[in-house]
Chain A
Amino acid sequence: MYSDLLNALPEVLGLSNFLAVIIGVIAGIVVGAMPGLSATMAISVLVPFTFGLEPLVALGLMAGIYNGAMYGGAIPAVLLRIPGTPAAVATTFDGYPMAQKGEGGYALQVAVVSSAVGGIASAFALMLLAPPLSKVTLLFGPSEVFWVAVFGLASIIFLLGGNPIKGLISACFGVFVSVIGSDPIFGTDRYTSGQLELLDGISIVILLVGLYALPPVIDLLETPLKTDGVNSSKLGTEPIWKTLPRMGRFWKTWLRSSFIGIWIGILPGAGGSMAAFMSYNEARRASRTPETWGEGEPEGVAASETANNADTASALIPALTLGIPGTAVAAVAAVMLGGLLVHGLQPGPMLFRENPDVVFGFMWQFLFGAILLILLGGSLATNSFARLLNLPRPLLGSVIIVLMLIGVYSIHGRMFDVYLMLGFGAIGWVMDKLKFPLPPVVLGLILGGFAEENLRLALRIGRGDWTVLFANTTSLVLVALTVAVVVGPMVKRRLAKRDLRTKET
C-alpha cells in the first residue's frame, strides 16, 4: 500500500519539481504576509498559469503556497496585530505583545518553526491515512459515488456554520453552473444560448479566479490599508539557530496542537482559525502560568501557528480520497481540488489507482514544503518579509488585475472567458458581502457533473429503478451520514436554545 509512496519520491526530488515547491513556499509567505491576500486567492490566480506545466510542478507550487501562506499570515499578525490570514488571528494574542516588547523577531521565529512542525505532522498524517482510505473508496460503485458527492456537498453546507439557507443557495448555484454546456450523454446543449464558448462547460478556473481573486482586489481598492511601516531593525532578531534551543520547551504544545490541527483539518467544514483557537485555549489551559498569556507568551504563538499549519495537508485526506475538502473555511482545499481537475486529475477514489505517482508525489511536496519553511521563512527571510507590509496596496491591486486577465485569457485565448470571469467576480463580491459561503459553489461545480454522471449511470444499471440508489449497505451508510450532517447541527442548535431558555427561567 505504501510502496507507491516510496516510488513517487525520486521524481519529487527532481530539479523542476523541487524548485516549484521552493518558489511556492516563498510566494506563499509573500502572499500570506500581505493582509487582504490569501492562499486561496494566490492559488486561484496561479491555477491558469499552470496549464502548460507538468502536474507535479503545478501541484508543488500549490503545496508550497499553501504551506507558506499559513506562516506568512503570522508576520502582520505579530508586527501589526493584523492577521494576514484568518487562521492567524490567535497568533496576534501573544505575537503582537512580544513585538511591542522588542521580541518581534523571536515571535516570528517561533511562528516559523511551529508552522513547520505542524506542517510536517500534517504531511505525515496525509501519507499514513490517505492510502488505506483510498483502498476502501475504490470499492465504490456509481450509486455510492453519487452519495459521496451528496454527502460532500451536505457536509460543506451544514457544517460550515452560518446560514444553511445561504449555503444551500451557494451549492445549488455551483451545481447549476456545472450543468451548463453539452449534456454528457446525449450531447444536447444546456443553457449555452448558442455560445460556442460554453459548449464544453464553464472552466473551473474561470469560476475560481472570479470568485476568489476579484473580491479581494476590490477590497484592496475599497479600503486602502495604511500601515505605519515596519522597521526591521526594531525586530530584535537573532539568528534562528541561536533561538532554537529556547524553543525546546514547546514540545508538548507542538504535539498537542499538531493533533488538534490534523483532526480539525480532516473534519469537513472546520478550518484553520478554529484549529488555532482550540489549540491556543488547550495550551493555555495546560500552562503553569496562564496569567502570562496574552501579554507576550511565546508558547501562545507556538500553539496557534502549529495548529493552523497542521490542518493544511490533513484537509486533503478527505479531499483526495473522497473529493470532499476538509478545511472548507479556508477554502484552499476546495480551490486545490479545482487545481487537480485542471490537470485532468479527478479527486476521489480513482485518483490513487490512476495517478499514484502524482498523488503520492503531491504528499511528499507537502512534507518538503513544511521543512523548507524553516530554511526559507526562518533564517534569512524574517526581516525581509516584514518589509512587504510597506508595499502600496493600490499598486498591488492593479498588478493582480493584470495577472487575472492574463491567466484567464491564456486558458483558451479568448476574451469571452475574461468577461465571464468578471461576471463571476461580481457575483462573488455580492456573495462575500452578504455572507454566502463560497466553497459550496466550487464544490458544487466540481461534484455536480460528477454526481450527475454517476446518478445517471446508476439509474441505467438499475434500468431506471430509483431504489438502486439505496440497494446496498454502503449507500445506506452514506445516506445516514448525510442525514446526520444535515440534522445534527439543527438538533444541536435546538438543544442550545432550550438550554438557554431553561437557564433564563
Chain B
Amino acid sequence: MSDHRPSRLVRPETLTALGIIFLALAFLVPTTGLRPISALLPAAMLAGLILLSAILLIRDQRRASAGSKTAPLTQAPRRVIGAFALIAGYAVATDLAGFYPATAIAIPLVAWLFGYRSPAGLALATTIVVGSAWAIFDLGMSQDFPAGRLWQ
C-alpha cells in the first residue's frame, strides 16, 4: 500500500509564506539603490514581510509535524482555475479584439460554462449589458473602450 500523504512543503500556508519571502527578497534588491530616507518605509515593510512569513512558515511546519491536516484552498479547483482563466481570457480578449466583441462573447460563455443554460436568458442579459455599456458609457459619457490591438 502506498502512502498518499502530500508533502509538507505543498501546504497552502507554507507555499504562501515561501512565495512572500521570495518576492520580498526580490524587492529588497532595488531598495538598496534608494536614498536611506526613501528606503526607510519600504525596507521596513519588506523586512517585516520576510520575518512574519518566516514565523508563519515555522508555525505551519510545526502543525504539519504534529500531524495537523490542512484544508485545501478550494473544494472545486477546476471551477476556480476555469473562472480565473475565463476572467483573464476576457481581459486579454478585450485588449486584443476590443471591448464589445469580447464582452458579447464573455457574458454568455461564462454563464453557460458555469451552469446557466437558457439561450433566451443569455441573449437577453448580453444584449442588456452590452447595450447599456454602449448607451451609458460610449454615448452618454464619451468613454472610449479598447478597440482591439488586432484591428489597429
A interface list, Cβ under 8 A from B:
52, 165-166, 168-169, 172-173, 175-176, 179, 183, 185-186, 188, 190-191, 214, 217-218, 221-224, 392-395, 397-399, 401-402, 405-406, 409-410, 413, 415, 418-419, 422, 425-426, 429-430, 433-434, 448, 451-452, 455-456, 459
Contact = CB atoms under 8 A, between A and B. Distances in A.
Given A191-B27, A402-B133, A415-B94, A172 B13 contact: no
Contacts of A405: 90-91, 94, 99
A422 B49 contact: no
A456 B110 CA distance: 49
A206 B115 CA distance: 29
A402 B87 contact: no
A168 B90 CA distance: 34
Contact of B12 (A176, A393, A394, A433): A433
Contact of A165 (B56, B118, B133): B56
B80 A395 contact: no
B88 interface: yes
Interface string B77-116: 0011011100110110011000100010011111111111
A413 B133 CA distance: 15
Contact of B83 (A166, A191, A218, A393): A218
B139 interface: no
B76 A222 contact: yes
Given A168-B52, A176-B49, A191-B42, A394 B110 contact: yes
Contacts, number: 157
Given A218-B83, A224-B114, A405-B94, 5 more contacts: A172-B45, A172-B46, A221-B82, A392-B115, A418-B91
A434 B80 contact: no
A168 B48 contact: yes
B32 interface: no
A172 B38 contact: no
A394 B114 contact: yes
Given A186-B38, A394-B116, A172 B84 contact: no
B48 A413 contact: no
A51 to B, nearest CB: 10
B129 A402 contact: yes
A434 B12 contact: yes
B111 to A, nearest CB: 4
B42 A179 contact: yes
Contacts of A173: 45, 49
Interface string B4-18: 000000001100100
B69 to A, nearest CB: 15
